[in-house]
Structure 1
């Protein structure tokens, strides 16, 4: 099914004909790289360090505290579509600024909680703040403000820098907790996070192709009238959209299960815990490498083709791990093969959506994909643990991971021949 796209809007001109200053895209990417690194580091990664002292101080279990974090993630997923609609309608400035402010206030509130129910309220609020200010919102802003040929590079720059959020904030939070206690550590982290709000307010602008007016859709006899009036409805009627949803959901499940079980599996196959942890740590560096390779190959190949090949390589690597893991070299090769695809979906998903559909509805469509991928991320580790307990072996789990990667590769590859016509690719040029 070929989807129509509106005619391009000249840079600096909104679709209602009024002039607006085009954003400085280099400054925008640089600032968002900073805010996403800080935002993910403080609102997401720091929780792992704060979990144990918070549970001890509240006299509750780590499971109860972890449940609050899960609630935060699920709330963020539930809000993805309405927040996406607002991003498409009004741009990201007010939303990301308010999300950053809310996150800072809730970090301060977290430092004062003395009951478990209060922690749940704080974490639910952090889920709202995260949905409004982190990756999905930042991706929507970057997609809307960049020409097609520059989007991949901008997304790469953002994700490469923000990919170090855990590397920076996990040890920083640990040091703060050891030195000052978890409550004071949260106050300091809140002060660090506070810089994101003025940065969002100062740099994020409504892009030229964003308007509160309904998008004009050209006539196309191959598109039903209702779909032509609604880019989102037209996209949801496209078989390719649901192939993308299935592919990225299956891949998220594979990554989530693999991440959780890898160290335990390597130890079970006879490797020392230190070696297993060091090998697992390679995946962070490899995720950046995979993004660099994907961006470089886009000059010659379709993004869908590159992504499908990477996912297929991961399937082979997952199958190879049980066969080669008893040797050091075999374990390293198998983990490297799988790790190269760790960060590819993060950069490929927004690029593919922007290539296929009206970018003025990008955030809404991206939001539709968040719910299934989030559920996969939450449920896959439990399913992997259940399968291991039932079989007493990690080999069936790795086979299941390979199957998920194979499904992802097949689904994404099936979209390669369904690229929109040239007029869609010229959007914003």
Structure 2
């Protein structure tokens, strides 16, 4: 790898990963909400029970994430993602052929565990292992492409389900993971298999930590806390966005307002790609954290105003879209590229465990204290995330901040 090529984002790898991320998120996550009512009828369950099984599967998948991170560092993200595509295809097929509830739940757990092997955390690690010096920029480009997963797969799933049973839709999705994602991941694995040898020989230009060892542990704890709180707020609102806005008096406009969330996520990633390159990753993390509680306060204060709800959807989408980027780039900027997969696994595990409880927690609060107060609690949790990132800034300012800025400039 020459110096010049090491400083350029791997365009082919980003484009290929973008396709697999769209398929991965579309088939393993976004399709579930469309197919869930038919699944419930198949097993004589309520829709609430079906979604509770998804939450349980996400929780168990989150507990397995640290092991996934260690595998990524040991074997290379490409190999892990290749195996993940095979497991995802097998799990989707097993779900389709499940003869009863226990087999279905077991297969669903396998699906959500496999998703950790092929989605953002693994893809970010792969980009770090391919070209560490430009990984921050590469992650931004990847999230911009993958941001269209819901926009593409909600209508695809709906169209397929109009002609096929949910079981056959899952079989089609299994074939996509096997025929498209697996070969792409196998191709990418060829350049990242012997991670230890590549680093030892100097072929990979590592990014060193920008903060001293003495403050890495508290900085990591604060970072994980911030990400977990953001994930809680995101997960709670994404599931209940339309019901929340309906309860606030927006009526039929609630669905239209909700549709602005996805495009706003993509917009935030595009804005960051164009203008955010010179900002420290810690500053971007703080901005993303601030936008979430600000959006919630705007919604509560302006309800039932439609313009206010539109502003809420845009601001909330901007914060959520930026958050997905910094969850990949901030650990790299603060702690360097060595052991990146392990750290991503730890962050993902805590985020999934926390976010899996969020929809139920918000539903309980809305039934107990009302929608407006529930949103106020969510805004307070979002503000706590802001405080966590401010604490990292205070912790790193005397010794680390200039290096963080330098790293962000290089990426």
- 1:286/1:340 contact within 8 Å kept: yes
How big is each residue's C-alpha offset from its partner over 1:291-322, in whole Å with a ceiling of 9 and x where there is no partner? Answer: 22334443332121132133223322311212
Q: How does 1:228-377 map to 2 (within 5 A)?
A: 238-273=217-252, 275-377=253-355
Q: Post-superposition shift, 1:324? A: 0.8
- CA shift at 1:61, angstroms? 3.1
Whether 1:397 and 2:377 are equivalent positions in the alignment is: no
**1:55 corresponds to which residue?**
40
Q: Distance in 2 between matches of 1:214 and 1:145?
A: 11
Aligned residues: 394
Aligned with 1:122 (options 81, 98, 107): 107
Residues 237 and 24 of structure 1: CA distance in aligned 2, closer, same or farther (over 3 Å): closer
Q: Which residue of 2 aligns with 1:16?
A: none
Given that 1:324 and 1:334 are in contact with CA atoms closer than 8 Å, whether structure 2 keeps it comes out as: no
Q: Is the CA contact (8 Å cut-off) linking 1:90 and 1:206 kept in structure 2?
A: no
The separation in 2 between residues aligned to 1:355 and 1:209, in whole angstroms, is 23
Structure 2, unaligned stretches of length 5 or more?
A: 202-209
Tell me the distance in 1 between the aligned counterparts of 2:139 and 2:198: 27
What SS class does the counterpart of residue 220 from structure 2 fall into?
A: helix
CA gap 1:211/1:168 in 2 versus in 1, 3 angstroms: same
Deviates more, 1:199-208 or 1:371-380: 199-208
Greater fraction of residues in helix: 2
Match of 1:408 in 2: 385
TM superposition shift of 1:209: 8.9
* Counterpart for residue 112 of structure 1: 97
The gaps in structure 1 that reach 5 residues or longer are 1-10, 14-20, 217-230
Pair 331,186 (structure 1): closer, same or farther in 2 beyond 3 Å: closer
Residue number among 62, 65, 69 corresponding to 2:54 in the alignment: 69
- Asked if the contact 1:12/1:208 (under 8 Å) is kept, the reply is no
